[in-house]
Chains A and B, each alone.
Chain A
């Protein structure tokens, strides 16, 4: 017995869909409540400005895309076959004015966004030092398999998977890597992100302005230790920072050459480690390993493994 074909009711369907979307958004809001939406929770100038352009772009684009999609769905609903009131014009073409709008509306919105993009791209260059009252500080970063080595050239200490910086002090992270694939250095709460690669320095300038402890991670796939290749970025007061440096120098042993060689071996899920000092010129040595004539010596490395 063939059943009657049910009538389509796009109206009730639309209501159901809108309710469904609201319910979903509510569900997501409940699920993330109380957790760190890091990108929207900036703790420093760079992250704040990056959030600004992110939100600006999102709002601008949704302002044009939202109504466009809305109009499309409205047209689909209004001119449904089952609507006796809708007119049908089987040969209708878009007129010139409409076509100008079709090219013009996206062009205008994207032109505005392009200007914002151009300005912000030139304003927040990661390689450029941040202007601030405090004296800037440099931290040298070496991506290893699968951990981060932080070297403090001024303070003379080194750490693994833990970096402490004083608040309101611009910090230059000089990123490189040793015996490791390309790694992505990202502290979402402070701003991101640049790749750390062997044989070169990628300079990332960040600043922490709210005291706290933030998670940093490696964003590029490097191997089985990827998920635990993370570190803590601690933003503290200048006084706490100085105390921490002193404690680190007093409580820990040095990072010897042999110690560094063992760090080069792949290891997963490393906890934080601290070194009172390191061999002078370590960072330069790491860089030179992949540069110039020295790199020729590395020709047989594949064979050696």
Chain B
């Protein structure tokens, strides 16, 4: 009897530990660094604060902020992957002398394909989805005048399952093995054990599976919240656009994420139990996998983009100082997109060889779904018309989005035509298309939303000046890195190539793409600088009114930062732009009331930790580990279900006291002249400030206090 085999399973051993430069680097960068950051935070602010007030929090605002912090960190990881890919391709011409003595760039084909896969998974699942969930968590309850979500515990569970997925996707750094080298959707039969025998695809399955279950749970939660928890008077036709976009998106998520779960389970059965759902032997059907994964995969991009459309709708209206030009049209446009989203998936595999009628039908649906999207553009034009437009940073992101998303939309409709797709499918033209939409639509929408709602998150607005700089680096970087991709696609360059012949003439464009990537990296660095500069100047940038942009929806009617209970009084809504109406009429003073709140719970953290361990057991085929972990999950859920002591009441007197205290500590509003004449800190001023601060720390030896 070999104990090592029983404890570690057949696959895990000492050889798996990190020993290559990228696994060692990844272990430091993506596992040890976050752990150190958490430890430092706990040391400075106290463990009780970190665990009791944040990690176990059921407050959607705190969960939203945690989503966005993890997503921001993963954006850096995914972005680093992108730069590594661009660098490889820029050096990847096979006639060039090898870089550092290595032929074909500096990465092996296998390693390159692992990065391709990780980049796609991370950006879609752990960046875009998480940012969207962060925004939805924070903003939707505020917009509908609710104090909490319908199922506060499910919210914390969903978040921690997402974190478990994030850990799983980075786990190969520390524990070894490799990541999947299969492309982001791990198309069958390449994902089967015959072609991918290592643990990479298992990591892929379980990181998506665990976080996907979290997504399903969260989506159900938001649908119920939006349907059931609206403030009195807020009918469905008075919902703010962002809430509408989120509702459409979450409905789609509930429809398709179970499909992803099922597909991943079947893949897992193929790999772990030796079944033959998607294999090429034993009567398996790989084409079934393609169909199932895209039936989820296509709606997924709409799940991401609809909340972004909602953000833009709000921003255009507020920064034009006009209501949205046709609310009904905008909402119908979003409902139209989401109801058609499940009928276009076959356009991802026209090249699999269906007949002309099948291809033409799905081509037609792909044309039809472009109409409601285009209509939104016209609604925005009419909203701008006769407005008084302020070019604040959120508005800049909207204007940038218009250009990138239109390019992506035009190329997308082209690819929806089967004969065009035959020539451009799986070429870089396709890659450029979806990056235009996912970067230019989703990510720009997220940046727009973060700049717009930051006063709500933190109590002060973001630095406008550095924000503008960041925007311009992003836009220029985007044009340099993705427009050449279209051209390369027309030249016949296929995706995921780690090297190519110099005679193709592709290299100059790949180099331009690398330059564009570096430009975007500067944009990201400036965004981090923007946040830092805003924190430094938080007193001057403080949002003392709770309504810095002259907003129209309910989230602006409460204080910034938002109190724990969101609203001291649940507002009564009579019109669409509810807060705009309230501002026009004076608000009547109301009496404070008792507020029911939900106690924080650590069950979400534990269940997710066990889910992670179970996934780890499945990846490495450690039987005892997944058996014990699954049992622990069941026990945790049962224990949580029997815990009746989950609520508490904030008495009216305490609410009054807290409100008074908040008013007393409210930062002094800068005078109008101050606010108008002073320009925000520039990057150079920030650098000077940081150097002075560092000198100060060195001089006073302040680190000793830590």
Contact = CB atoms under 8 A, between A and B. Distances in A.
Contacts of A251: none
Contacts, number: 341
A215 B195 CA distance: 26
A122 interface: yes
Interface string A225-243: 1110000000000000000
Nearest to B409: A65
Interface string B272-293: 0010100111110011001000
A36 B375 contact: no
A102 B375 contact: yes
Interface residues of A, number: 112
A223 B191 CA distance: 10
Top 5 A-B pairs, shortest CB-CB distance: A35-B505, A102-B378, A298-B281, A2-B678, A106-B374
B484 to A, nearest CB: 6
Given A32-B509, A71-B381, A88 B321 contact: yes
13 contacts: A38-B490, A53-B419, A53-B420, A54-B414, A79-B389, A86-B386, A91-B323, A94-B329, A117-B367, A118-B360, A181-B189, A215-B492, A295-B283
B147 interface: no
B636 interface: no
Interface stretch (B2-10, B495-503, B649-657): B495-503
B280 A199 contact: yes
Interface string A33-55: 01111111000000101110110
A113 B326 contact: no
Contacts of A19: none
B329 A221 contact: no
B490 A39 contact: yes
Contacts of A296: 282-283
Contact of B280 (A57, A110, A290): A290
B406 A69 contact: yes
Interface in B158-212: 181-183, 187-190, 192-195, 197
Contacts of B359: 121
A126 B359 CA distance: 12
B512 interface: yes
Contacts of B427: 39, 188, 219
A202 to B, nearest CB: 4
B422 A126 contact: yes
B351 interface: yes
Nearest to B427: A219
B391 interface: yes
Given A80-B391, A106-B375, A192-B422, 12 more contacts: A31-B484, A68-B377, A72-B384, A80-B389, A93-B326, A110-B368, A121-B356, A127-B353, A184-B425, A227-B104, A227-B497, A302-B193
A87 B389 CA distance: 11
A280 interface: no
B326 A90 contact: no
Interface stretch (A5-13, A131-139, A158-166, A252-260): A5-13
B195 to A, nearest CB: 5
Contact of B420 (A28, A50, A199): A50
A20 to B, nearest CB: 8
A125 to B, nearest CB: 5
Interface in A172-206: 181-182, 184, 186, 188-189, 191-195, 197-199, 202-203
A184 B426 contact: yes
Contact of A219 (B193, B286, B399, B494): B494
Given A32-B509, A88-B388, A186-B494, A193 B190 contact: no
Interface in B396-414: 399, 402-403, 406, 409-410, 413-414
A3 interface: yes
Contact of A38 (B320, B386, B492): B492
Nearest to B381: A72
Contact of B406 (A65, A76, A103, A220): A65
Interface in A107-124: 107, 110-111, 113-114, 116-118, 120-122, 124
A223 B181 contact: yes
Interface of B: 104, 108-110, 113, 116, 181-183, 187-190, 192-195, 197, 274, 276, 279-283, 286-287, 290, 320-323, 325-326, 329, 349, 351-353, 355-357, 359-360, 363-364, 367-368, 370-371, 374-375, 377-382, 384-391, 399, 402-403, 406, 409-410, 413-414, 416-420, 422-427, 476, 479-480, 483-484, 487, 489-492, 494-500, 504-506, 508-509, 512, 674, 676-679
A133 B494 CA distance: 34
A218 interface: yes
B420 A54 contact: yes
A102 to B, nearest CB: 4
Given A36-B491, A181-B190, A199-B280, A107 B371 contact: yes
Contacts of B320: 79
B351 A195 contact: yes
A125 B359 CA distance: 10
Nearest to B418: A121
A113 B385 contact: no
A248 B626 CA distance: 58
Nearest to B685: A3
A5 B190 contact: no
Contacts of A120: 417-419
B311 to A, nearest CB: 17
A99 interface: yes
A302 B274 contact: yes
A73 B375 contact: no
A198 B280 contact: yes
A284 interface: no
Given A28-B487, A76-B399, A305-B194, A227 B500 contact: yes
A27 interface: yes
A161 B417 CA distance: 30
Given A57-B420, A69-B406, A219 B182 contact: no
B367 A113 contact: yes
Contacts of A93: 323, 325-326
Nearest to A128: B356
B426 A220 contact: yes
Nearest to B476: A20
Contacts of B349: 195
Given A87-B386, A99-B326, A125-B356, A10 B391 contact: yes
Given A57-B417, A224-B110, A28 B679 contact: no
B352 A195 contact: yes
Contacts of B364: 114, 117-118
Given A101-B378, A106-B375, A121-B418, A221 B183 contact: yes
Nearest to B508: A31
B679 A193 contact: no
Contacts of B108: 224
Given A3-B678, A73-B399, A192 B423 contact: yes
B329 A102 contact: yes
Nearest to B429: A39
B417 A69 contact: no
Contacts of A247: none
A196 B116 CA distance: 23
A132 to B, nearest CB: 19
Nearest to A125: B356
Contacts of A197: 280, 286-287, 352
A260 to B, nearest CB: 18
A26 interface: no
A170 to B, nearest CB: 17
Nearest to B353: A202
Query: Which of B413, B417, B508 has the most chain A CB within a 10 Å cutoff?
Result: B417
Contact of A54 (B183, B374, B424): B424
A81 interface: yes
A35 B497 contact: no
A6 to B, nearest CB: 7
Query: Which of B113, B382, B480, B498 has the most chain A CB within a 10 Å cutoff?
Result: B382
A145 B120 CA distance: 24
Given A57-B420, A125-B356, A186-B494, A193 B426 contact: yes
